Each structure stands twice: as structure tokens, then as C-alpha cells.
Structure 1
Amino acid sequence: MSLITLTTDFGTKDHFVGAVKGAIYSELPDAKIVDITHQISPFNITETAYILKNAYKSFPDKTIHVIGVDSELSIRNKHIALELDNHYFICPDNGLISMIASEIKPTKIFEINIHDRIESSFPVLDVFVQVASHIARGGSLSVIGKEVESYKKIIEIQPKVNEQQNIISGGVIYIDNYGNVITNISKKQFNTIGKGRDFKVTARRYIFTKIYNRYNEIVDYSATDNRQYDGERLAIFNSAGFLEIAIYRSNLETVGGASTLLGLEYRDTVTIEFENPVKPEFTALN
């Protein structure tokens, strides 16, 4: 049985997701299809990369991941199939692999060239499904295209580091269902550059001098009413290991989230500035 995941910006109102699943089942009746999400913001590559990077690792080896975001074929947006971390990815070469492959490099990358046999304005349905089915049957990637050495990289996924000024300058790459704002600054990078120094995180006009590991660390449980902490803003390293600006127990319909209450939006700048000099004894933040 083949395991295939779908990640798209199709939404669920239209026929697109159902058509793709139907095409997979027509090719592979015993396939198991898992929806990672179909609610990606339209054409949002960084959001796609963040979600997929933090989802694919939970699936077994040899899972096939079909990615349909900004997937229309063009001279500048080719289609690729690659093997990375014992998983297969079928996607447009639009830069989304940059974040997924930031620490683990692809084993093989092939540019898909079966388009001359398939006329399509819906490549996820007509092309990606064919490639996924071929891989699921044990077929070689070399059959679907020519091997290439690289993939398109987008620099906005990676934060900038100025070690002379002791600053990491990142940006908002994703806003989750709670309105929490996720940046591209990783905990690993924070520890590597910071080396235990005091710091301040700046997001618009808000400053944070502490980063939590759990949301409820902000709560003083000896207090008479713990509800007083609802709506408090905090910085946290989330479960994916990225710096997040959050509102404790946020609810977009009542309290609001960090994105709305703090006025933070996709691509907004978030910086961490470290004090000088480096402390002599350094223990990484767990």
C-alpha cells in the first residue's frame, strides 16, 4: 500500500482536491491518501514550506508528498521530483524546497519532462499524480525526467545574521490558526549566535527579553486567578523550534491573536539583538 500526502492551496469548496484523490485511486486503488492541508494561503510558498517541513517527518520512510501550491508550469517554474530524507517530494521548483532542505540535502533531484505527453492546465491532477503513481509502483525517478544538480532557492526563508552587530534579522513566515506569529528564526540559530547572552526581541514596537519553551510558563500558578494571564503577549520557541510571538490562550473570535493585537503580518521584520560581550560559560537553551 502506498502512502501519499497532499498539500495544496486549493481549499475544499471546489472540485480540485476530490479530482486529485479520484485520479490517485484510479491509478492506485489500494493507496492511502493523507491531507496535510488544503488551506495554504494562495500561492504562499513560505507558508507551504513551514507546514510541510514540520509535517513530513512524522510520516514513514518512502512516503510520497504531492505539493500543489503555485504549481502552474512555466519557464521559471518547472516541476521537480526529488528524494530527501528517505521521502519523495513532487512539486514546482519555486523555492519551497529551500526550507525543507535547509539542513538535509536531497539525495536525487529530477526535472519532470513528461509534459510533452500530457497537455494540462491542472498539473497536480494530470502530471503530479502520474509521477506519484510511478514512484509508488517502484519506478525510478530517472524515467520521469533528467537529473539536475540544484533547485531554486529563496532567501526570504532564511534569516540574516550580522555577527559584528550581534543581530539576527528574521521575518514572519506563517500565522497559525490561533493568530500566533511564527518567524524564520530557529532555536538552533539563536543558541549558536547568542551563546547565552542577554537579548531583546523586537517585533514592531513590542520588545521581549525572555523566550519561553511552553505557553503556560508565563502563568504564576500561585496567583489567585490564573485567568489574569489570558491575553498576555509572549515570545516562545514553538514545537517546531522556531521563534513565535503569541498571545496566551488566544482566541481570534474573543481575545484576538498576536497577528491582530500586535499588528504583525506576513513578511514583517522580527529581530533579536544580543548584548556584548559573549559570556565565558555558555549553556544552550533547552
Structure 2
Amino acid sequence: MTHKYSTVSFLSDYGTRDEFVGVVKSVIYEIAPQCRVVDLTHDIEPFDVRAGSLSLARCVSYVASGVVLAVVDPGVGSSRRAVAVEVAEGKGVFVGPDNGLLAMAIALAGGAGRAVCLTNTEYHLSSPGETFAGRDIFAPVAAHLCNGVDLSELGEMIDPALLLPGVVPLPREEGGALHGEVTWVDRFGNCQLNIGPDEVTHFGEVLRVEIGSNLSGASVSREQVVRSLKIVRSYDALNGNLGLVVDSYGMLSLCVDRGSAATELNIGSGDLVVLSQLQEGDQNSTITTAVKIAPKR
């Protein structure tokens, strides 16, 4: 069954200083003037496929049915595949590079149905170079899908099981503690962890939180910081202090009421955070004095 779509939801690392986003949207409107383009974000850190993948995964439950166009593509112009992947029995299609960017969102949307490698240049723009696939391949393909072009016409059908997986950071249990990491720091300085509240209920309402060693690609090295933090459901329950909030995506986030946890703790995306039960000698309050704190960045 051929589908027509009315919405393209667009995520990229293009930023808004240059003309890239506007050009991509103009290409879409030229081919499919009836569709609307929703900007999810264009402020993914350049080349950060994992950050783009996590952002897309957070969005996917809320995007309109239709085409999802995602471009964080450090391998542009290389042998990496450009793909379109059908989900939810054709109610949606993901378009982007096959570099793991789409994987988590596709899984959350129910898994891949049909998948195609975008090899049919009839549905591309001619180009003087190969470094702007968002304009020359992904945008026209997204627009043609909105016009009712079937997935099978866009190129060579491929086994969706062979699409590159995403890099999903999972917490691990070790020595009675749960080792997780900061997956996202939002513009308010809230630090989302890859840990949900149900995973730490056995530790009690107030947890021991250790921040120290870095994972690969994390922010600057620091000496260990130890806090005892309470889990709450809203920012005002923190009373201006640091705590663990169950955020709008159902994950635990390090937060400061009307402040930045990232600044206070000197942490960033990728930093290791260890949650455990309070130990003897830990101060049983929502805030404890840090054992050692490195200078602010």
C-alpha cells in the first residue's frame, strides 16, 4: 500500500547560523509544497551521532505520523549508506544515514519494517559535490515520500536487520551500586541519567551519588564528588538544592531548582555517575558537602 505523508519532522546538527537548514526545507517545499516541516532541533553537537540518536529517541513518541528526517552525518560522502526505513506498517518513515543515528528511535517506534538503500538517483538532486547529503539526497527523498512515492522506488531494498545499531548506554550493577552516566545536559543544566527510578527503589528515598571517573568522550577529569540526594517529582520539592528529579521522560536527572546541576557539579554528557545506598557516615540529608570538588570549568 502506498502512503502519502503530510509532515516531515527534521533533526540535525546543522545549527541555524548557516543556510543549511533553510536550504533543506526549501528543497522539501519545492517538491512537496503541501507538506509541513517541524523542526525538532538543529543544535545537536556537530558530528555527535550518539547525542542525535538519544535526542531522536526522546522525540519519537511525540512526533506526528509521517517522515522523520534526521541528519548527523560525519561520514557524509563516504561509503556509509543513505537509507529510508518504514515503521508502524507504513505510518512513518525514517530517512537518514545508516550510522546508528536512527536505530533507537526505530526500535521505540515498533521496529523496522521495509528498508531501502537510497540508490535511485532519479529521486536525488544533481550536485557539484558529495558533502551535503541532507540537501541532495535526504531532503528530496523525504519530499517524494510525502508525494506518495513508494519506498521500493527509492533504491535497493535491504534487510532491516543489517542496519547499523545505535550505541545505547546501559547502566550496570557492580559492588552493590548502579553505574550509569549522564546522557544529556539540557539548556537549563539538568543532567539526565540513563537510569530510571524503578532501578534504584531498593536504595531508598535518599541515595548516595558519586561523580568522578570519566567515560570515553566525557568532560574534563575531576576528583571524586560524593553527595546524598533525595529523589523528588518536581523542581520546587528541591527547595533550591541539588537533587534527583524524575524528569518528563521518566528518567532520573540531576537538577538544581532554578540553577544548573551541570555547573554546580562540573559534569557533562558521558560522565560516570554511581548510585548506591547510603553508607554509614554519609550525612542523611538531601545535600551533603562534597568530599572534593575540582575547580569549575
- When normalised by structure 1's length, the TM-score is 0.78
- State whether residues 208 and 235 of structure 1, in contact with CA within 8 Å, keep that contact through their aligned partners in structure 2: no
- State whether residues 113 and 146 of structure 1, in contact with CA within 8 Å, keep that contact through their aligned partners in structure 2: no
User: C-alpha root-mean-square deviation of aligned residues, in Å?
Assistant: 2.5
The whole-number CA distance in structure 1 between the counterparts of 2:234 and 2:53 is 24
4+ residue runs over 6 A deviation: none
* 1:215 correspondence with 2:224: no
Q: Deviations over 1:60-80 (max 9, x none)?
A: 32x2111121251422x3222
Q: Secondary structure, in 3 states, of the residue corresponding to 1:210?
A: strand
* 1:93 correspondence with 2:98: yes
Distance verdict in 2 for CA 1:31–1:261, change over 3 Å = same
* 1:49 correspondence with 2:58: no
Structure 2 alignment gaps of length 5 or more? 213-224, 279-297
Q: Secondary structure, in 3 states, of the residue corresponding to 1:60?
A: coil
- Match 1:240 to one of 249, 256, 272: 249
* 1:152 correspondence with 2:152: no
The whole-number CA distance in structure 2 between the counterparts of 1:5 and 1:168 is 35
Q: Deviations over 1:209-240 (max 9, x none)?
A: 42222112223xxxxxxxxx2xx211112101
Q: Secondary structure, in 3 states, of the residue corresponding to 2:237?
A: helix
Q: Secondary structure, in 3 states, of the residue corresponding to 1:259?
A: helix
Distance verdict in 2 for CA 1:101–1:26, change over 3 Å = closer
- State whether residues 237 and 244 of structure 1, in contact with CA within 8 Å, keep that contact through their aligned partners in structure 2: yes
Q: State the Cα distance separating 1:27 from its structure 2 match.
A: 0.1
- Match 2:136 to one of 126, 137, 156: 126
- Match 1:113 to one of 105, 114, 119: 119
The whole-number CA distance in structure 2 between the counterparts of 1:202 and 1:99 is 28
- Match 2:44 to one of 40, 43, 49: 40
| Counterpart mapping for 1:1-286 below 5 A | 2-61=6-65, 63-70=66-73, 72-75=76-79, 77-85=80-88, 86-103=91-108, 104-114=110-120, 118-119=126-127, 120-144=130-154, 145-148=156-159, 149-155=161-167, 157-162=168-173, 165-185=175-195, 187=196, 190-191=197-198, 193-194=199-200, 196-198=202-204, 199-204=207-212, 205-219=225-239, 229=240, 232-250=241-259, 257-273=260-276
Q: State the Cα distance separating 1:131 from its structure 2 match.
A: 1.3
The whole-number CA distance in structure 1 between the counterparts of 2:211 and 2:114 is 39
Identity of aligned residues (%): 25
Q: State the Cα distance separating 1:88 from its structure 2 match.
A: 1.6
Of residues 7-16 and 265-274 in structure 1, the stretch that sits farther from structure 2 once superposed is: 265-274
Q: Secondary structure, in 3 states, of the residue corresponding to 2:112?
A: coil
Distance verdict in 2 for CA 1:101–1:206, change over 3 Å = farther
Distance verdict in 2 for CA 1:102–1:245, change over 3 Å = farther
The whole-number CA distance in structure 1 between the counterparts of 2:189 and 2:153 is 44
- When normalised by structure 2's length, the TM-score is 0.75
Q: Secondary structure, in 3 states, of the residue corresponding to 1:235?
A: strand
Q: State the Cα distance separating 1:177 from its structure 2 match.
A: 0.8
Q: Deviations over 1:162-215 (max 9, x none)?
A: 3x6444322222211111112222x2xx52x44544353323313344222211
